[in-house]
Structure 1
Amino acid sequence: MVQIEPKQQEIREELLRAAMDHVAFDGWSETTYRAAVAQSRIDAQVARAACPRGAVDLALCFHALGDEEMLRRMAATAPAEMRFRDRIAQAVRFRIEAIEDKEAVRRASSLFALPQNAALGAGAIWGTADRIWSALGDASRDVNWYTKRATLSGVYGATVLYWLGDDSEGQEATWTFLDRRIDDVMQIEKVKAQVNESPLLRGLLAGPNWLASRIKAPGAHPPAGMPGHWAPEGPETSGGNNS
């Protein structure tokens, strides 16, 4: 996740507050961005330094603030007696309930569906999944680090799309949809466990499993532009240094 300087973050949030008056009409567009700059009275060059991609950066800021609100709600809830699958479902629900402007999300969906913005949109959803797993204490550092976040990204993305068209009372249809998606994921995990317990299947998958074991989660200093890294087999990795 790209780190934003505190001052630049303040500027982005100020521009975002001004932009929200225009998103419903003009979407996350250059028109909205320029209106936000004018309304906030922030110097145009200062605003562009904080948001070099204009409204796209404002949309990403909007998403990130939703993630932060989700984390606050998770921290304020003590799920000691809750099943882990229910904790995941609760986190996704918190994230969706943190959204105060459905139209802004609908417009953001259109923005990040554009080919030039698709990677940024996928990265934002991945970031949400990563924050959920990290907040729930996920300690995986192997290929499971990726599969957990990829699976949850799919669940979250599908649930948001369903929620955008949901007009049921209290969004109950969305929460039912979410529970079904979580149950589907749990079935996949159950099958994986059964495969690993089977001597025959475990032998057949020895090669792919070895290959997967070489994949490691991002370290403190991952290679530039890469989400993770390859851990070569040898003495240099015996001490746990996978950078």
Structure 2
Amino acid sequence: MNNKGLDIEALKESLLDAALLHVVFDGWTPAAFAAACEDAAVAPDLARVICPGGAPELAADYHRRGDRLMLARIAAEDLPGLRFRDRIAAAVRFRIEASDRELVRRGAALFALPQHAAAGAALVWGTADAIWTALGDSSRDINWYSKRATLSAVYSSTVLYWLGDESDDAADTRDFLDRRIEDVMRFEKFKAQVRENPVLGKLLAGPLRLLSQVRAPEAHNDLPGKINRQEQA
């Protein structure tokens, strides 16, 4: 098949847009993918070339589209004047507001399956990384990992809460998010107290020395669970 001259990214965006109309009813399934091909007027054989992962790959693209919308809103909002914890909360809210609840519900069901769990975890990690990077995180040591792991847990639990939230304007979700961030702040305060304690400091000197050697990955291709498409070719 000669794909010269085709705008692959544009075709894939068209497939995604078309799929969203069917995912609400069929989930991120082969049936939704086939319907998207028909609606977008993309031949099935060509669709498998530009989107070899089928519906699950489109689900991942939808998640990453939400990340881009979130980053655009972070850049447009006046966040520097807020406390740092409030900036994080705002970013998580922006990310949730960039998504359709039913599409996310369908995606959660997909990425809960064992064969897609690693990809789902990588997407959540990518969202946490995008937030920290957008907010100016410059850590390159073990804190690079701990910040993203903690925020991944906060984001995931908040999304799950939001999926069942029936309050006006998702007010209960905002309160839930604030409580989760407060829990994280308490934990960070506890860690600081442990480091400053002379007795515990001596006991943990060895492990802390080892952890100090950990460095953040040099390239985002090293993110946990991320697939290098060049290696698959």
Output the TM-score relative to the length of structure 2: 0.90
* Deviation, structure 1 residue 96: 0.5
Quote the residue 2:30 is aligned against: 30
Q: What SS class does the counterpart of residue 78 from structure 1 fall into?
A: coil
* Deviation, structure 1 residue 223: 6.8
Distance 1:214 1:90 in 2: 32
Q: What is the aligned length?
A: 221
Structure with larger RCO (C-alpha < 8 A, sep 6+): 2
Quote the residue 1:94 is aligned against: 94
* Deviation, structure 1 residue 226: 7.8
Quote the residue 1:211 is aligned against: 210
Q: What SS class does the counterpart of residue 153 from structure 2 fall into?
A: helix
1:159-178 equivalent positions in 2, closer than 5 A = 159-178=158-177
Contact 1:142-1:215 within 8 A present in 2 as well? yes
Distance 1:133 1:224 in 2: 14
Distance 1:222 1:197 in 2: 36
- Specify whether residues 222 and 20 from structure 1 end up closer, same or farther in structure 2 by C-alpha distance, changes over 3 A only: closer
Moved more, 156-165 or 42-51: 42-51
- Specify whether residues 75 and 224 from structure 1 end up closer, same or farther in structure 2 by C-alpha distance, changes over 3 A only: closer
1:178-236 Cα distance to aligned partner (Å, 9 max, x none): 00000000001000111111111111111111111121100148779888xxxxxxxxx
Quote the residue 2:149 is aligned against: 150
1:144-187 Cα distance to aligned partner (Å, 9 max, x none): 11110000000000000000000100100000000000000000
Gap runs ≥5 in structure 1: 1-5, 228-243
Quote the residue 1:111 is aligned against: 110
Q: What SS class does the counterpart of residue 138 from structure 2 fall into?
A: coil
Query: Is 2:186 the counterpart of 1:179?
Result: no
- Specify whether residues 128 and 222 from structure 1 end up closer, same or farther in structure 2 by C-alpha distance, changes over 3 A only: closer
Moved more, 89-98 or 74-83: 74-83
Query: Is 2:41 the counterpart of 1:47?
Result: no
CA RMSD of aligned residues (A): 1.8
Q: What SS class does the counterpart of residue 216 from structure 1 fall into?
A: coil
Contact 1:14-1:40 within 8 A present in 2 as well? yes
Distance 2:36 2:225 in 1: 33
* Deviation, structure 1 residue 48: 1.1
Contact 1:22-1:32 within 8 A present in 2 as well? yes
Q: Which amino acid aligns with 1:139?
A: S
- Specify whether residues 203 and 78 from structure 1 end up closer, same or farther in structure 2 by C-alpha distance, changes over 3 A only: same
1:60-79 equivalent positions in 2, closer than 5 A = 60-79=60-79
Query: Is 2:56 the counterpart of 1:56?
Result: yes
Distance 1:180 1:86 in 2: 12
* Deviation, structure 1 residue 11: 2.3
Contact 1:28-1:111 within 8 A present in 2 as well? yes
- Specify whether residues 65 and 226 from structure 1 end up closer, same or farther in structure 2 by C-alpha distance, changes over 3 A only: closer
Q: Which amino acid aligns with 1:62?
A: Y
- Specify whether residues 154 and 105 from structure 1 end up closer, same or farther in structure 2 by C-alpha distance, changes over 3 A only: same
1:35-78 Cα distance to aligned partner (Å, 9 max, x none): 10111111323211221110001100110110001001100012
Distance 1:65 1:102 in 2: 15
Distance 1:178 1:223 in 2: 29
Contact 2:119-2:225 within 8 A present in 1 as well? no
Contact 1:12-1:61 within 8 A present in 2 as well? no
Quote the residue 2:199 is aligned against: 200
Gap runs ≥5 in structure 2: 1-5, 227-233
Distance 1:181 1:131 in 2: 19
Distance 2:183 2:21 in 1: 39
